[in-house]
Each structure stands twice: as C-alpha cells, then as structure tokens.
C-alpha cells in the first residue's frame, strides 16, 4: 500500500498514464511521475530472470543472502527501442521532477526532443524533463555542444 500526501495526489490526479515500478521481491510500489528515485533493473545470471529491485533492502538481500549474480541492464538496443511516453493527453506532458506542464510535439503523441533526456545524451529513467530540471540534475554530464544548445534554448524562453 502506498500513502500519498495531498500535494502528491494533486500532482497525479489528472495524469492519464502513471509510470509505475514494482519491486520483484517486496512488491513495493514506485511512482516515477512524482519524481521518486527509480528502482534498478537487474538481470540475474543464476535465475535467468529480470528483476526490478528497490534500493532499501531487496538489492542487498539478493546479493548477500540469496547469492544472486546481478548485472544492471544497459543494453543500447533496448534504450533505443523505448519510446518516450507522454503522461497526459497526446499534446501535453508533465516534467517528472517538478510537475511543470510542457507542450508535446504537435498531435503526434510524443514529447519534444528538448524534453527527452536521451536527446541530450543522458541515460535516465525519467522520461520527460523540463530544461530547468535537466540543468539542475545533469548539467555536468552534458558535453560542450549540448551545453551550448541548452543555454540557447533557455535564452529563447523554452520550457
């Protein structure tokens, strides 16, 4: 069971599609739309299965007690196949960290490139970020040409 504050409920009550993660062992629920820290996605060599594991207890239990041979999944093909899902109507979306409402790319049902972390060369479980949150969280990881583009977008007043 997950308890939400009134502020958290106000943020997600109008969202049509929630991005949820469930821990494979303790069944703890994670709502990524609220900016909560994402669970790790791991592949166990021993069991030949994929697991989402919460950071608090299950990851340590799997390594130390169960003796799982966990490897974090970072396959480039999988990352390219994943499409950025809009978490509201087809032409609107919300930033996953600050819940700021952003415009989508017309009526195509996708997010504008500038709000997609993969456009900036950042691997993140957050699918939609505004430019301000992107700068706060990942500014040091941007390469020089992307930093220049990011500053240009901010000067133009894009969100």
- Residue 108 CB coordination number (10 Å): 11
H helices within the chain, ranges in order? 6-12, 58-64, 76-81, 131-138, 144-156
Pick the closest to residue 135 from 8, 152, 82 (CA basis).
Answer: 152
Whole-angstrom Cα distance, residue 31 to residue 112? 22
pLDDT 10s digits, 81-118:
445 566 666 567 788 888 788 877 776 767 788 888 88
Whole-angstrom Cα distance, residue 92 to residue 88? 6
pLDDT 10s digits, 2-17:
788 888 888 888 887 8
What residue ranges do the domains of the chain occupy?
A: 6-73, 87-156
**pTM of the predicted structure, to 2 decimals:** 0.49
Q: Report the share of the chain in percent with pLDDT over 70.
A: 73
For 63-68, what is the mean pLDDT?
A: 60
């Amino acid at each position: 069971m997950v308890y939400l504050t009134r502020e958290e409920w106000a943020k997600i009550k109008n969202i049509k599609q929630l991005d949820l993660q469930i821990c494979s062992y303790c069944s703890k629920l994670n709502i990524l739309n609220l900016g909560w820290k994402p669970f790790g996605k791991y592949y166990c060599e021993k069991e030949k299965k994929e697991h989402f594991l919460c950071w608090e207890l299950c990851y340590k239990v799997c390594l130390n007690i169960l003796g799982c041979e966990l490897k974090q999944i970072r396959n480039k093909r999988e990352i390219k196949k994943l499409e950025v899902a809009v978490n509201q109507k087809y032409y609107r979306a919300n930033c996953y960290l600050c819940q700021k409402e952003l415009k989508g790319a017309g009526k195509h049902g996708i997010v504008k490139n500038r709000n997609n972390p993969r456009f900036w060369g950042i691997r993140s479980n957050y699918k939609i970020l505004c430019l301000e949150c992107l700068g706060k969280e990942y500014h040091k990881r941007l390469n020089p040409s992307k930093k220049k583009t990011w500053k240009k977008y901010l000067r133009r007043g894009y969100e």
